[in-house]
Structure 1
Amino acid sequence: MIKFITPREAAHLVADHATVAMSGHAGFGTADAILQALQQQYALTGKPAQLTLVKVAGAGDGGRRGGDRLAAPGCIRTLITSHVGLEPKLAEAIRAERCLAYMIPAGTIFRLYQACARGENGFLTEVGLGTTADPRYEGSCGNARTRKEGKPLVSVETVQGKEYLYYRTFPIQVGIIRGSIADETGNISLEHEDMIGEQLQIAMAVKQSGGIVLVQVADLVRRGKLDPRQVTIPRHLVDYVTVVRQRDVWTEIVPDPDGGRPHEPLTVRKICARRAALELQPQELVNLGIGMPESIGSVLAEEGMESRIISASDSGVIGGVQLTGPEMGSALYPEAMIPMADMLSLCNGGGLDVCALGLAETDYLGNVNVSRFNGCVVGPGGFIDLTRKAKKIIFLGTFTAVGLQAHCERGTLCITQEGRYHKFKKQVEEITFSGVAAKQRGQKVLFVTERAVFTLTPAGWLLTEVAPGVDIRRHIIPFMDFSPRVAAHVKTMDARIFGETKMGLR
């Protein structure tokens, strides 16, 4: 029978050495009152200690809430996640080797939950071959301590002459998830959540493991008051419910007939976004990654062409104005929402037409790293899932970083100060995207910067376009740690990209 308890009582149910799965994506879907109670209990008693924490994504607000509540030394022994970008305390725990850490693709964690729910010992996947997830590289190990002390989560197996990654499942004793509304029998609705996360998958995996499911909700209603079509987690998958009458809904999900994106000034960010926008065809399903790719949406809105594409986040939110930071994965005025697990399955299956992602660093093979810098791990998040089978991949970013100063003058690009950091390296620190695998799959891969456009061909890098005012020998080659091939007829980037007025996209 379902029991209604306080967050403090919920915290007492988590034992030392338990494997705990928690829901949450950025600032949403996290049972933060229960996590706060765990944080307070650990500070007072040192319990629960030596936990294994499993979570799909970075869940927090940049330093206070979410997964960072469990970052005190000794609380977590092992962390299994895809990302800690919004959890600086967990990121520091990994860097300082206070815990073991496995940074595996977001979609793979969903697969782990699903395989566990089916009672399977493991599963095969092609996702992650040739990247940091591959045991022939890092095997998703987030630090040296994990490589030394940790048990491998993944191995390479060959079936009928084809390679796969094989992940072993493990029992999960506790699930800590967030819902919107519970009825008095324990049925859980997610109707006020800004995305449909991993709550159901966690509950099913935990119950199959013989564990307990703790759910935090904002409202309680009488039996029969919930529309059964709105019940995501039925009561037989729930053990304990805690009602905390507050919500983390920071965005308003309402139709917006007038759009809502502000116009951006003409900066290198907008230049890259404009050039990338020229690659998009009507009604393509497009993922716009965080950072510079978000400006593609602003460019389309400025041109009155926002409906030209169908934008999709890896969280399952489709359409609208995608948000960032703690609101990452959500959107203002979305058109639709599908479960995150389904969206990542769609991406892994090749359902994305275009994936536009940020360019942190790349190398002579076309590999891209966005998951580890100077030994500090962030994790791949959904990057590996998104790029695996997208028909076209656009990486966009400034050509150099840290100190770059450039502006447009009379339709030409003027570089007044070069960035100190070179992004085009001989070898990336970690492979989040495999250029070799992309070429084998026949994917179209473009690298768009404010001064040049490159294509990744079967023969390697090819410089195809330069900005007006840019000299290849002066502004491009000296700032690359490898030599690209140069097209026989290098084009000049569209002059409209560098003008103050609208481009006139049609």
Structure 2
Amino acid sequence: MSAAEAVELIKDGDTVTICGIIGALVPEKVLSALEARYLQTGAPRHITAVFPVAVGDVYGISGADHLAHEGLLKRVISGSYVTAPASAPPPKLVEMIYKNKVEAYNFPMGVLMHLHREIAARRPGLITQVGLRTFVDPRLEGAKMNKLTQEDLIELINLHGQEYLFYKSFPINVAIVRGTTADEFGNITMEHEGSFSIVLTQAMAAHNCGGKVIAQVKRVTTPGKLNPQLVKIPGIMVDAIVIDEDQKQATGITYDPAVSGEISKPLRQIEPVPLSIEKVAARRALMELRQGDIVNLGFGIPSLVSPVAAEEGLIGKIFFTIEHGAIGGIPLAGLQFGAALNPEAIIESTAQFDFLTGGGIDAAIMAFAEVDAQGNVNVSRLTKIPHVLSGAGGFIDILHSVRRIIFCGTLTAGGIAAEIKDGRLDLKKEGKVIKCVRQLQHRTFDAQFALEKGQEVIYITERAVFRLKPEGLVLTEIAPGINLDRAIRPVVNFDLRISPNLSLMDERLFKAEPMGLKNSPAWV
């Protein structure tokens, strides 16, 4: 079936769930055809688009932006949104949201994925504590992203004396998913993909709601040729197959079999991370880990921890996970985030989030955009430049039950520059954006809730390390070469609590050669 014919299945007012992970798993040909149909005919109108993960990038894969037209969209519910650099124009859909042109919600990614499972089973909704005391909580913003958005989709309830959030189910009329190969019966395999995401759950939700499933694939084969153990979406759920021989594996990757787990690439082929303030922070985060740890890495600087671990010879001594399903290997960084090089296993994202929110990992290393004196964190919205942050993503889900939380980033942002030499840090230019603030613009992490749950929390930057204590954020380490009164106090916009045992960060962090961690007691 052509893409133009497939999108005729979408009707006015439909709720459409769409797969994708930034530039990976994007059904680009189908979305492009849907946009073309609307521009040519004015139909369909007033659809609700559901994106469990951001779909598309700003480097050639338009993804969700194909739907960014007034009249086409009524509402968007997403776990994350496409981002762009601060100096670049915002993605079209994000611009619509912040201009109040479309209703918009930002659910925790894992919650939205699990909600699809509830919808598929025709249950009334999802009950969970994930999202409590964050912007998702209806006592704060209820996950609403603008003033146009008024309907409450989340309720606060009490069960056996404890607070929970109830995320209401809604019918799904169409699922647009992607795989690698289809047979003529509609069975779909994903052998060239780095993640299975929740394509099965999306297809099942649409099918069980009496809707349609459109699948984009790279190729079609005859019945009986696919290994049934590799089929991720059974043909009994699929209504239309669209072929796109040019679909990309991820942003900047046409196809790499080491990402889909078909081969293993020698670690010596992985380029070392150049010495920078970002690498310093990633190295210091790595030093918080120990042999045998299962660690989930977030987007941004945390994704550098895995190649740094490879440089230190620690792959196999710790095990990295990412919320999109990869276990083991080296998670990819930047806009290729969502898959891993040389994964040991790839599981569906709904199962991965069961593992994560159930406390299956030992530590999580996550980025931060703002932190306040109490240790609360914002990673989901900056009012003046909302397009630089993707929303909650899997952040809230991942941090809900993990024992050790490691926040990792630079102390300021926007033009920060430094020289790293001979085990010391020399700050040359301060960043324009203050990240240690008196008042968060958005609350994505509640520090008091973490303390009540007994979680250990540390905040790592290139020049300072803080730990969460009952009284709030406490400075415990500073970088060699950094003056507390000149380079830290002026960029911390709250009263700084300083540990009586304030120490220097390890000078090995600031040297070009590997730190030799594999020979330290924690790794032997």
| Common topology (TM > 0.5) | yes
Quote the offset at 1:335 in angstroms.
Answer: 2.3
Quote the offset at 1:325 in angstroms.
Answer: 4.3
Distance in 1 (CA, whole Å) between partners of 2:29 and 2:383 is 34
Quote the offset at 1:131 in angstroms.
Answer: 0.7
Quote the offset at 1:259 in angstroms.
Answer: 4.3
Distance in 1 (CA, whole Å) between partners of 2:511 and 2:191 is 44
Please give the TM-score of this superposition, normalised by the length of structure 1: 0.95
Percent identity over the alignment is 38
SS at match of 1:74: coil
User: Which residue in the other structure is 1:69 paired with?
Assistant: 66
Kindly indicate whether the alpha-carbon contact (under 8 Å) linking 2:480 and 2:504 is maintained by their aligned counterparts in 1: yes
SS at match of 1:381: coil
User: Which residue in the other structure is 2:203 paired with?
Assistant: 203
1:289-309 CA distances to partner (integer Å, 9 max, x unpaired)? 222112222322222223331
Read off the aligned partner of 2:139 and give its amino acid letter.
R
Kindly indicate whether the alpha-carbon contact (under 8 Å) linking 2:57 and 2:82 is maintained by their aligned counterparts in 1: no
Read off the aligned partner of 1:124 and give its amino acid letter.
I
User: Which residue in the other structure is 1:161 paired with?
Assistant: 161
Unaligned runs of 5+ in 1: none
Distance in 1 (CA, whole Å) between partners of 2:304 and 2:180 is 32
Q: Which moved more, 1:28-37 or 1:250-259?
A: 250-259
Asked whether 1:216 is paired with 2:216, we answer yes
SS at match of 1:424: coil
Call closer, same or farther: CA 1:7–1:373 in 2, change over 3 Å: same
Call closer, same or farther: CA 1:306–1:260 in 2, change over 3 Å: farther
User: Which residue in the other structure is 1:30 paired with?
Assistant: 26
Call closer, same or farther: CA 1:325–1:59 in 2, change over 3 Å: farther
Call closer, same or farther: CA 1:362–1:478 in 2, change over 3 Å: same
Read off the aligned partner of 1:202 and give its amino acid letter.
Q
Asked whether 1:101 is paired with 2:139, we answer no
User: Which residue in the other structure is 2:499 paired with?
Assistant: 487
Asked whether 1:416 is paired with 2:421, we answer no
Quote the offset at 1:359 in angstroms.
Answer: 2.2
Asked whether 1:266 is paired with 2:275, we answer yes
Asked whether 1:299 is paired with 2:308, we answer yes
Distance in 2 (CA, whole Å) between partners of 1:29 and 1:426 is 40
Kindly indicate whether the alpha-carbon contact (under 8 Å) linking 1:55 and 1:81 is maintained by their aligned counterparts in 2: yes
Distance in 2 (CA, whole Å) between partners of 1:309 and 1:454 is 24
Please give the TM-score of this superposition, normalised by the length of structure 2: 0.92
Q: Which moved more, 1:349-358 or 1:260-269?
A: 260-269
1:186-239 CA distances to partner (integer Å, 9 max, x unpaired)? 222222222111111111111221111111222222222111111121122122
RMSD: 1.7
Read off the aligned partner of 1:303 and give its amino acid letter.
E
Call closer, same or farther: CA 1:497–1:327 in 2, change over 3 Å: closer
User: Which residue in the other structure is 2:361 paired with?
Assistant: 352
Distance in 2 (CA, whole Å) between partners of 1:414 and 1:33 is 49
1:152-206 CA distances to partner (integer Å, 9 max, x unpaired)? 1101001111000011111111111112222222222222222111111111111
Kindly indicate whether the alpha-carbon contact (under 8 Å) linking 2:478 and 2:503 is maintained by their aligned counterparts in 1: yes
Asked whether 1:333 is paired with 2:336, we answer no
- 1:369-388 correspondence runs (5 A): 369-374=378-383, 376=386, 378-388=390-400
SS at match of 1:465: strand
Kindly indicate whether the alpha-carbon contact (under 8 Å) linking 1:26 and 1:59 is maintained by their aligned counterparts in 2: yes
Which residue of 23, 44, 53 corresponds with 1:57? 53
Distance in 1 (CA, whole Å) between partners of 2:93 and 2:271 is 34
Distance in 2 (CA, whole Å) between partners of 1:86 and 1:437 is 29
Unaligned runs of 5+ in 2: 85-90, 519-524
Quote the offset at 1:326 in angstroms.
Answer: 4.1
User: Which residue in the other structure is 1:141 paired with?
Assistant: 144
Asked whether 1:252 is paired with 2:257, we answer yes
SS at match of 1:69: helix
Call closer, same or farther: CA 1:258–1:461 in 2, change over 3 Å: closer
User: How many residues align structurally?
Assistant: 499
Distance in 1 (CA, whole Å) between partners of 2:487 and 2:493 is 13
